[in-house]
Amino acid sequence: MNKTEPIGGKANAELRALAPVEDFLADLHARVSQETGGAPADYIPELGKVDPSLFGIAIATVDGQIYAVGDTDIPFTIQSVSKPFMYGWALQRHGRPKVLERVGVEPTGEAFNSIVLDEVANRPFNPMVNAGAIAVAEMMPGDTQEQRVGNMLDLFSNLAGRKLDIDEAVFKSEMATGHRNRAIVYMMLNTAMIERDPNEVLDLYFRQCSVNVTACDLAIMAATLANDGTNPLTNKSVFDAHYVRDMLSVMNSCGMYDYAGEWAYEVGMPAKSGVSGCIIAVMPGQIGICVYAPPIDTQGNSVRGIRVCQEISSEFELHAFNNRTNVRSVIRRDYRADVVRSNRLRTLEERKILAKEGHKVAILEAQGALFFGSTEQLLRKMGQLAADSRYVVVDFKRVHQADTSARKLIVRAVRSMPGSATELAFASIGEDGRLDRLVCALAENEDGHRVRQFRDADAALEWCEDQILAGTAFGQATKFAVSEINLFNGLNAEECRLVESVIRPLVFEEGDVIMREGDDAKLFFVLARGTVSVQIKVHGKGNRKKRVASIGPGLTFGEMALLDGGKRSADIVANERVICYGLGVEELHELSAEHPNIMITILSNLTREFSERLRHANEEISVLE
Ligand code: DON
């Protein structure tokens, strides 16, 4: 657990500057410590014995970082903060319809221990008031009471990420004095809102309220809800994300009882309070907050707890309805293949064709989170590009999530493509699991239309280029004659024949490593048939390789050997069966001693090739910047 206490005494300016959250919490704790309103609950006598000056604030992030100030390791009983978690567990175990039969989701506007029940639906109004929590406690699975209590403790231990126990003194105190809850449970038995032995149900309810926790435990529990039901410390999934949404909805409307409206207005985070003086609040996707300070107000909410949450919410604008999403930023940029080409090295003729026809390929880069608003923007842009493109590539490399609405919209868009003259391709959608559910949704697309998927935008662009070139005289797969190869442009027939005399035809199968990074460079190669990939080691990633370019027929590789004779700077791997010509640097030098024009021509063609690549790279940078 990464826990950072506020930097007191020894803190110096640099350290404080580097600890903005601790710094803020330390100030907040100091200021709210002046707040003296409220009094500890004592209708459960054991609770009245607590030290009223205890005060702790803990914030946990969805990746398990904890910020804590004050009494955050002092145990206290969880009380009503247990209710949303028990409700979540009932949903998890029994599903929504069954749970909704037993308890509603309507705020009562009444106190937590109100005996008002929904006689129309014959159930308690919501699971945050005692009656609803009692109905939920009855749903805890287990054949024996012991098993049920064990399951309940397991739930809270999984949520805290450590084994929790029950404060027997508080349990006994509530059992001895919990007459109002006893009245409630018998009223519920009277109308068959519960079926099991009311004393057993109440026993479990009182035990769940008496579970010992600390403010740090509750901050982690709240962060588990912020993290779609997965405990940030243990990475253990406790609730499915869709049930977390239900829990947060009920916490938002009912969690603070007859203060829920003002809380939603002022603080705007789903929350839950407990009479032991604790409050949890949840910022979905970001943090879980817990404040512990025993003095409570007339509505049963911690006075300092409310102050702290109000201040945190206003200071950092955590109100749920502060607009944080800017759907327009989903489109990073778009460009066309006449200005930006794939990393596939192309012959001069091919480059000319692509400069002329490349506008038929549009590449659209998406970024951020895909949800309804952003996906609608993305697909509208895709549609605009498709209107004047033969191929549209959507690059998802910078998209970190796609929710249900996004998946549904994208599948609908793909389904609508078969009739159109535009071919759609998706890139960087599947390789690292980010968008697995979108990949599954596309695969399950029952109408069978499959959108082409590529490992990255470069591979997609190369494929589109090949389609454009395939329709021209220059899309041919082979270039066997020396005269056809750019490197030898300008050589006369005799010189071509001499070059052919020192050429070594070589054949490689798919996957063969033709040359390896770091090897001595004695040969350079001219590709006659097939394509190869240029791969370099990714720094600090062990043996992981990155494909930086690919080369097709008529082009050369390994020519550095000719220029500086240095070690090989990359691996060259055959993408398929490859035929290429190896030319020994030594032999070529010997040949050129007799026929200097050969080397002069080769070197000037190489220089032209490199300068053309440099020019194009600058052009691309100017477009992509
Ligand atoms: O049932 C009761 O009254 C207590 N065990 C729990 C009530 C509670 O925490 C209300 N919250 N503010």
Would the pTM count as exceeding 0.85?
A: no
Q: Which residues of the chain have pLDDT under 50?
A: 1, 5-8
Distance CA 176, CA 595 (A): 109
Active site residues: 80, 83, 205, 257, 275
Among protein residues, the one with the nearest Cα to ligand 1's atom 11 is 274
Report the nearest-CA residue for atom 3 of ligand 1. 113
Give residue-wise pLDDT tens across range 163-216: 999 999 999 999 999 999 999 999 999 999 999 999 999 999 999 999 999 999
**Ligand 1 center from residue 457 Cα (angstroms):** 56
CA-nearest residue, atom 4 of ligand 1: 79
Taking the CA of residue 112 as reference, the ligand 1 atom at the shortest distance is: 10
Q: What residue has token string 């705007």? A: 268
Q: What is the pLDDT of residue 54?
A: 98
* Cβ neighbours, 10 Å, residue 157: 15
Instruction: Give me ligand 1 centre to Cα 612, in Å.
Output: 76
For residue 208, the CA-to-ligand 1 centroid distance in Å is 11
Atom of ligand 1 nearest to the CA of 130: 1
Any idea what the Cα angle at residue 472 is, between residues 470 and 475, rounded to 5°? 50
* Closest atom, ligand 1, to C-alpha of 206: 5
Please tell me whether residue 500 adopts helix, strand or coil conformation.
helix
| 368-398 pLDDT, tens digit each | 999 999 999 999 999 999 999 999 999 999 9
Q: Whats the size of the chain, residue-wise? A: 625
* Percent above pLDDT 70 for the chain: 94
Residue 274 Cα, ligand 1 centroid: separation in angstroms? 6
| Residue 541 confidence (pLDDT) | 75
What lines the ligand 1 site, CB under 6 Å?
Answer: 79-80, 112-113, 130, 174, 181, 209, 273-275, 300
Burial (CB count within 10 angstroms: exposed 0-12, middle 13-18, buried 19+), residue 319: middle
The residue with tokens 């990393």 is 343
Distance from C-alpha of 231 to C-alpha of 343, rounded to nearest angstrom: 43
Residues facing residue 549 across a β-bridge: 534
| Residues 469-523 pLDDT 10s | 887 766 555 666 777 787 888 899 899 888 888 888 899 999 999 999 888 888 8
Q: Could you tell me which residues are beta bridge partners of residue 606?
A: none
Pocket test for ligand 1, best of 129, 275, 291, 297 (most atoms within 8 A of CB): 275
Please provide residue 70's backbone torsions phi and psi, each rounded to the nearest 5 degrees.
Answer: 80, -150
Tell me the DSSP string of 300-338. Answer: S-BHHHHHHHHHHHHHHT--TTS----GGGGEEEEEETT
